Amino acid sequence: MDFEKLTQVMRKLALDAGDKIMDIYNADDFDVKTKSDDSPVTAADEAADALISAGLRAEFPDVLLVTEEQSESHKELASTFLIVDPLDGTKEFINRRGDFTVNIALVENGVPTRGVVYAPAKDRMFYTLADGSTVEEAAPFDRDVVGTLTPIKVSSPDNAALMVVASKSHRDAATDAYIGKYAVKDMKSAGSSLKFCLVATGEADLYPRVGRTMEWDTAAGHAVLAGAGGAVVRFDTHEPLVYGKEGYANPFFIAYAPGVDLKEA
């Protein structure tokens, strides 16, 4: 894999998909459909998926591509593959809350190693460079000219005063009970894979997810966090979260900055 080329392609496709999404987001109205798993889908999901899929298949035809919106792609398994959630945080999009992202990632031998997370309504974009390290690019964004890049790194957490981020749309009693095991200084709520990015930048120390997710929801954020020195582990065993699982469903997990004294489930 040419990682320099991959970085350029993922960045450009994320920006192009973001433009498509924002055109629909800023319209007076848009249709919302329901998929077979009862999750919502919009024209923005579908347009972004078509654009990203075409771009990745043109540039990397020999690499398996898995995307949320193409159920046929969920039936194939490989140790190395590209994985896409063209619009993560559809509920945030529908409710016009802005916390939605474009997620594109490369998984190698079950580990997300490269990725981009772009939040077009928030003007924030995070991605891994060819060497695997993570940067945040400053807005405004130009498809053909890379803007100012700032290397990002996880916090050095204070276990007596942790910064925690949790889901905006999927917060529940089980999540609150687990967070209650820690000494928390401040809590933030965020949608989509932005939660991984807040840990990656040091804006949060800990993100526990006690709820259903799929690999396309997490792979890009996982790669961004890993490139900033963070980690993602299973909630039950604290073993590393791996990818390429049958059905692409995740167990509960914890994303965190090393130094956090992880509590048992």
Other Cβ atoms within 10 Å of 123 Cβ, number: 13
C-alpha span between 262 and 159 (Å, rounded): 10
Q: Which two tokens stand for residue 186?
A: 């401040």
- DSSP E strands: which ranges in 45-158? 64-67, 81-88, 101-108, 111-119, 124-128, 134-137, 149-151
Check the annotation: does 262 bind a ligand: no
- What are the distances in angstroms from CA 118 to CA 15, 68, 108, 232? 7, 17, 21, 20
| SS3 assignment, position 78 | coil
Q: Which two tokens stand for residue 208?
A: 């526990």
- The response to whether 89 counts as a known ligand-binding position is yes
Among all chains, which residue has been given the structure tokens 């999009």?
Answer: 93
Residues 6+ apart with CB under 8 A from 144: none
Look up residue 64 and give its amino acid.
L
Tell me if 90 is assigned to a ligand binding site. yes
Beta bridge partners of 213: 250
State the Cα–Cα distance between residues 182 and 261, nearest whole angstrom: 9
Are residues 244 and 107 in contact, defined by beta-carbon separation less than 8 angstroms?
Answer: yes
| 88 is annotated as contributing to ligand binding | yes
Residues making up the binding site: 68, 85, 87-90, 217
Residues making up the binding site for Mg(2+): 68, 85, 87-88, 217
Residues making up the binding site for substrate: 68, 87-90, 217
